[in-house]
Structure 1
Amino acid sequence: MSLQLPPLSLYIHLPWCVKKCPYCDFNSHQADRFTHNDKLPEEAYLKQLLADLDADLDYVAGRPIQTAFIGGGTPSLMSEDFYYKLMDALREKLTWVDNTEITMEANPGTFEQEKFRHFRQAGINRLSIGIQSFQPNLLKTLGRIHNREEAIHAVDKSRAAGFDNINLDLMHGLPEQSRDMAMEDLSLAIKLNPEHLSWYQLTIEPNTEFFRRPPTLPEDNTLWEIQDAGQELLAENGYLQYEVSANSKISKRASHNLNYWRFGDYIGIGAGAHGKITLPDGQIFRTRKTRHPNHYLNNLAEALVIKEPIAQEDMPLEFMMNRLRLFESFDLLDYERFAYQKLPIPLIKACEIAIKKGLLDAEEWKKKRVKTTRKGKLFLNELLELFLA
């Protein structure tokens, strides 16, 4: 079995937001609790990010960085100077493939839009704008601090700044949202002509305000109607669904997320960042960094990094949980190439059961390939349960 290492990406986490949204379970912290003289601790955080990266450089193992993603939190809160320094340092420490996709998450607020041109000049070439909805009542319910006009203007601003690869994040299944309301949001997003649309259903996550005080969500029948009508509308306008919630124009799929879902490697730096690393001996493990910004800023030593090997018996679920999110077919032997173990008999049997249930494509299986069916897309959790150890 070949021990050629998988492609490598870089994830960078910036943990601050202006305001914590009631649905958000990401590692984000309200900025005004950490600022000094109305400024975030940019210099100290940059220093720790680079020290964090230095501690993980052995995991690179000579591989170039295929993609990078700057997430949060709200990364666009940081100054343009922060990103000039960060990108310069990353270019010095790492080897990059040509035309590396480098994405930053941004909010549509007017203050942040003024920095888009600097982000592009620093080397960031893909922008992911968190719109979520265009409707004032839903924006208020979601705790968003931008309005409809700012969301539309943010796309115009990003184009003017030189971005030709833009993703819009949009949610559906929102509190008391009707099918028509959801289609109005999606239609406006399509009209803005982004290269990529992440269109996903609101789920209530633990440790969120919505979990503690659940809002009234649409009934299941309405959710099905929204999903069906939305995917039809996206397809009619040239957006191909290639993952559960990801839709793109031809050749504009998110390369960074594709690497995650294809079971590639990624180094994660920053407060709360996660990583997945393969060693030259075939051992695969996950890393995570301490979540709280103050702890991250003050303790970089061993306590900062938690390494957890992926147990051999858990590998089928770990692999399939990622690959089956994608709607492309894949070679069954990709499991051996990326999981570094022989194809387990229980995994093969689970695939055969999934075919009988109509969750995997029978014709692709004859070619020793795996592909999720339309039914499998709709019942993904049921499909994945078949691969539990």
Structure 2
Amino acid sequence: MTASQPLPLVSVIVPAYNAAATLAATLRSALAQSHAEIEIIVVDDGSADETARVARAIAAQDPRVTVARQVNAGVAAARNRALAMARGEFVAPLDADDLWHPAKLARQLARIREMPEATMVYCWSADIDADGLISELRSDVARFEGDVMAPLLVANFIDTSSVPLIRREALIAAGGWEEGLHRRNAQGCEDWVLYVRLAAAGPVLLEPAFLVGYRQSATAMSRDTGRMRRSMALVHEEAARRIGRLPRWVQRFSLADFDRYLGDILAESGNPIRAAGYRLRAVLRDPAWLTSRVARRRLKGWLTRSPAYPPVGGGTLHFDAIDADLGRFPEPDRWTRRRWARLAAARLAAAPHRD
């Protein structure tokens, strides 16, 4: 952007359901952005707590905040309600319990404006606990750009819905968030379905910095393993509609990664036997994963029931104090380089029906 160009308006859309405990901190992190040309649209999705009161109190203090309320219809419907109200050139979803680094929007805007055909730009996130302390900071973060369809189908490396900055016109062309998952009791992967649509429509960019604090909750929707499996199956159906038949090896790697994810959820939920079953199935589907550095870390964590990555600052560092440009990452190991190279070379969005 040059000095003569007006700053683009970014529409921050915040779906909120029974989020009174975290919403104020979330909105403050959005209002504190160094890119101040924003509108924040909070959609209270039929909350039974003080969510609406918290949102309206903040809206009374800052005219950039608008609050809408609807009968509970699910997170996708709440986001689509906000999208219909949005006026910005870009849209930035923000969950009502996550936090943003002050430079999040400014850095992503600078990146996406380098490539007009890009549909969205993502960044990295740090896991935070209920107090906003960083509980895990992974060093095996994704570094994919351009045609990211193959790696995206293996795993939702964009991670949380609070990460991407999306061109509004691309988001509308993709149909917004898929509300049908809620009707089919398959919620959980609405974001993943959308990312598949956006990846099929154009390049995806990365701003390599930790700009989002992703709050972990034992009661989150993603803890329902049965619902998440149904939701993940719909991701593959969506991809098949966009690019044709999926390569078998992509499906296999994807199922293995998802089994590891579900195994972690079950272990955290106090069900180690079922967790072991999912983890064993993941190994059988993708045995080469065992040779990776991340596998060694995770296996050690499984056996010791400890995090694969120690908490930053011994678990006492608040997300507000994070250095977004942590430059302490080791080079990817041999397995990771090979796997990333194979995924990057697949170019599924450009060459459908590849097998």
The answer to whether the superposition gives a TM-score over 0.5 is: no
Structure with max Cα Rg: 1
TM-score, normalised relative to structure 1: 0.29
In terms of fraction of residues, the more strand-rich structure is 1
